[in-house]
Copies of this chain bind each other. A is one copy, B any other.
Amino acid sequence: MSELEAKPVSTNNKLGLAKSDYLGGKSTLCVGCGHDSITNSIISSFHASNISPYDVAKMSGIGCSSKTPGYFLSKASGFNSIHGRMAPVSTGAKVANQKLITLGISGDGDTASIGLGGFVHLMRRNVPMAYLVANNGVYGLTKGQFSATSEKGSRSKAGGSNPFSMIDLCSLALDVGCTFVARSFSGDAKQLVPLISAAVKHNGTALIDIISPCVTYNNHEGSTKSYNFYKDHKVILQELGLILPEQEILADYDPGSTTRVDMPDGSILTLKKLALDHDVTNRWAAQQLVHESNSRGEILTGLLYIDEKSQNFLQTLDLTERPLSELGETETRPSAQVLSDIFKEYR
């Protein structure tokens, strides 16, 4: 937060809001915790995207990462729920009021262990929301046990080695049908801000698996989720840009090296090729890419997969336009005639 507070917040966005209007309470995380950087990128993204905080639902589970909704957008409503249940709670919240711009932030413990079922089934349903995982490879809040996203062989602070297969959240998400899959790094605001903006606009569930170092329990030598490990092993897939509908197409947009993805609201996501050629609309190519990159020991970040043409959960449910939460007797109570018609069946 200090970083933000230091910056002069001068430019107002289209809603006339300053960046300071997107701040939250003071963080109580450890100094240097990756999660605080994610907080900053969320603030930047929502400010830049001209989203009114009033329209936002901030969702989380339990963990250090799940505390962050307290630290951004204090004017928005939020639900810091219970451990591992962010996905279903968010599903309910969003379906009951489709107008809510739903941003979830969870931890790797919250998502890949206790919350794994909910996570997978959220993606199967394609519930429109941004699902951010602040992935530090450990249970921060309970003091540093390995989580299921820890690499096999990575070392704990106490020196133990993780003997179990890692769950790669991106590969898993691709496997079960997630329609927006990205990996990023908490410290890479340049990449993370447009990714969050795109995730929020996405027509379905958007997963961003964000490597977010835990300085207290998983930032040592031998950890594969430390600041140093990231620095030494990062491979950045694309340079990302997000052009809002009201903005002019930027001059430096070169169709040769840059792919564009049209977002539902008319924004354009631009992907400028950096490390490798990759077709972000090819699900299985994306999954192979992740596997190959993992096997080279890299941390590959960027947008891995996107599909803006899929049917999202609200469409599947074929909902009336007004939020369900606003429906009263008039909209929901069938007539007396209907009732007596129905009873004919029961005589």
Instruction: Given A284-B288, A287-B287, verify A114-B113 contact (CB < 8 Å).
Output: no
Question: How many angstroms from the CA of A121 to the CA of B165 in the assembled complex?
Answer: 9
**With A163-B311, A175-B168, A311-B163 in contact, do A117 and B113 touch (Cβ < 8 Å)?**
yes
Q: Does A31 contact B (CB under 8 A)?
A: no
A163-B117 in contact (CB<8A):
no
CB-defined contacts of A148 to chain B, threshold 8 Å: 121, 124
Nearest-neighbor residue (CB-CB) of A84 within chain B = B117
Decide if B124 touches A167 in the complex (CB within 8 Å): yes
Q: Closest CB of chain B to A312's CB: distance in Å?
A: 10
**Across the interface, do A121 and B125 meet the contact criterion of CB distance under 8 Å?**
no
Binding site for B on A (CB under 8 A): 113-114, 116-117, 120-121, 123-126, 148, 152, 163-168, 171-172, 175-177, 284, 287-288, 291-292, 311, 316
Give Cα A114–Cα B123 distance, bound, in whole angstroms: 15
**In the bound complex, how far is the Cα of B175 from the Cα of A121, in angstroms?**
16
CB of B175 within 8 A of CB of A171, answer yes
Q: How far is the CA of A177 from the CA of B164 in the complex (A)?
A: 9
A292 to B177, CA, bound (A): 15
Pairs A-B, 3 closest by C-beta atoms: A165-B177, A116-B117, A163-B316
Please determine whether A120 and B175 come into contact, CB atoms closer than 8 angstroms: no
Contact A120 B176 (CB under 8 A): no
- Contact partners of A175 in chain B: CB under 8 A: 168, 171-172, 175
Task: Tell me the complex Cα distance, A114–B88, Å.
Answer: 13
Query: Do B124 and A164 have beta carbons less than 8 Å apart?
Result: yes
Nearest neighbor of A291 in chain B, beta-carbon distance: B284
Q: With the chains together, A223 CA to B333 CA distance in Å?
A: 36
Q: List 17 A-B contacts (CB under 8 A).
A: A113-B121, A116-B117, A117-B117, A124-B148, A124-B164, A124-B165, A125-B164, A126-B164, A163-B316, A164-B177, A165-B177, A166-B177, A172-B172, A172-B175, A175-B175, A287-B291, A288-B288
Are B167 and A120 in contact (CB-based, < 8 A)?
yes
Cβ of A293 to closest chain B Cβ, rounded Å = 12
Supply 18 further A-B pairs (C-beta < 8 A) apart from A113-B121, A125-B164, A172-B176: A114-B117, A116-B120, A120-B167, A121-B148, A123-B165, A124-B148, A124-B164, A124-B165, A124-B167, A126-B165, A164-B177, A164-B316, A167-B176, A168-B175, A175-B175, A284-B288, A284-B291, A284-B292
A14 to B152, CA, bound (A): 41
A67 to B311, CA, bound (A): 37
